[in-house]
């Protein structure tokens, strides 16, 4: 990848999955089968980030492996840049780059050596190799780090090296990222986030899995929630948040040590608004609009009585927990 990603024919998505299903047959005398995922439909367009959210075992990794051509679907079709990944895997994979969660670059090579090595393996002509390596290193923000040994780089830069390697062959239109920031410190996570934004602006379509709901909220143009092997919700962050019957929360802290007048005020609110969380020291109320004058007035009244309270709009996490069973979400 050097500069902007060249466009596909008008209207062609970088990923089109229709009716995707995967069944695993059990070996042994008992037999039987497990449905890992079923009837999955998803479209990803150029210059779009789609985040796949779901608990462990929901089917996220299975679906990514199917899209990558590593696991054949039992039914359905998957097209990458218009090419069927099952019928024409070699052709489809030239438009696809994959960064597995467990993958690590070779620690004793420099960043430039990594890209040059994998580019040569993938068949980039010798005459083009150096210019291609230079372009990729610039694209992923590694040019200033190109001569550093990988083991000396930060976690964020190591992830950049992996993405650079993935870009070193073919003409990628779709990038698959499996838990791209797991195990990174906050600064490194933000480096990877910025790189993902940069790649999207250049026209790459990105499908990522993550357990960090904040990550999906910040990066994704669309979010897909998977549970029990099925896509149960799809939409923009605002669309998914809009599924909730309320738009904000009033959060009260120190509820176990209120003065009598403040305690009476809190009891009155409990008769008026739905309580979504109650603990000895904390109460969460659901409010229809956290910013209208009436709700803000309630907050001001509580504050004047010495209550520690705050208002906030609903988050993607609130919406996610409303459609995924708590026992699953904690898995």
**pTM, full prediction:** 0.83
- Degrees to nearest 5, angle at CA 87 with 85 and 89: 45
* SS3 at position 308: strand
Separation of alpha carbons 77 and 18, rounded Å: 5
Residue with token string 């994959």:
98
Task: Enumerate residue ranges in the chain where pLDDT < 50.
Answer: 1-4, 327, 329-331
Strand arrangement of the beta sheet that strand 75-80 belongs to:
33-44, 15-25, 75-80, 83-84
Give the pLDDT of residue 4: 46
Residue with token string 């039987």:
32
Phi, psi of 73 (to 5 degrees): -70, 145
Give the pLDDT of residue 7: 63
Residues 177 and 206 sit within 8 Å (Cβ to Cβ): yes
Residues 175 and 200 sit within 8 Å (Cβ to Cβ): no
Give the pLDDT of residue 185: 85
Q: Write the DSSP assignment of 195-217 as a string of letters.
A: HHHHHHHTT-EEEEE-S-HHHHH
Residues 321 and 329 sit within 8 Å (Cβ to Cβ): yes
Give the pLDDT of residue 187: 85
Separation of alpha carbons 31 and 45, rounded Å: 40
* SS3 at position 23: strand
Give the pLDDT of residue 14: 96
Please list, in sequence order, all residues whose beta carbon lies within 8 angstroms of the beta carbon of residue 260, skipping any fewer than 6 positions away: none
Beta carbons within 10 angstroms of residue 207's beta carbon: 25
Give the pLDDT of residue 2: 45
Separation of alpha carbons 114 and 136, rounded Å: 11
List, in order of start, the domains of the chain with CATH numbers.
Answer: 15-241 (3.40.50.300), 248-313 (3.30.70.2380)
């Amino acid at each position: 990848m050097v500069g902007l990603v060249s466009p596909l024919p008008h209207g062609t998505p970088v990923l089109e999955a229709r009716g995707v299903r995967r069944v695993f047959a059990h070996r042994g005398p008992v037999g039987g089968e497990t449905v890992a995922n079923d009837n999955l439909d998803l479209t990803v367009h150029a210059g779009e980030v789609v985040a796949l959210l779901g608990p462990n075992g929901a089917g996220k990794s299975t679906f990514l492996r199917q899209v990558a051509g590593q696991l054949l679907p039992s039914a359905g079709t998957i097209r990458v840049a218009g090419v069927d990944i099952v019928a024409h895997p070699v052709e489809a994979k030239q438009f696809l780059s994959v960064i597995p969660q467990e993958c690590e670059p070779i620690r004793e090579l420099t960043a430039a050596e990594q890209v040059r090595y994998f580019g040569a393996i993938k068949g980039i002509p010798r005459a083009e190799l150096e210019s291609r390596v230079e372009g990729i290193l610039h694209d992923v923000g590694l040019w200033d780090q190109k001569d550093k040994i990988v083991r000396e780089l930060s976690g964020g830069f190591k992830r950049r090296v992996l993405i650079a390697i993935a870009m070193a062959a073919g003409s990628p239109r779709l990038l698959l990222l499996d838990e791209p920031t797991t195990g990174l410190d906050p600064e490194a996570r933000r480096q990877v986030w910025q790189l993902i934004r940069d790649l999207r602006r250049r026209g790459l379509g990105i499908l990522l899995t993550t357990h960090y709901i904040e990550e999906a909220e910040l990066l994704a143009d669309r979010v897909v929630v998977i549970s029990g092997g099925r896509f149960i919700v799809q939409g923009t962050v605002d669309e998914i948040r809009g599924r909730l019957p309320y738009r904000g929360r009033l959060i009260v802290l120190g509820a176990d040590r209120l003065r009598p007048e403040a305690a009476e005020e809190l009891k009155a609110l409990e008769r008026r608004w739905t309580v979504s969380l109650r603990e000895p020291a904390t109460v969460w109320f659901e409010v229809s609009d956290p910013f209208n004058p009436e709700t803000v007035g309630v907050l001001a009244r509580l504050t004047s009585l010495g209550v520690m309270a705050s208002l906030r709009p609903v988050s993607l996490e609130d919406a996610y927990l409303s459609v995924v069973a708590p026992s699953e979400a904690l898995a």
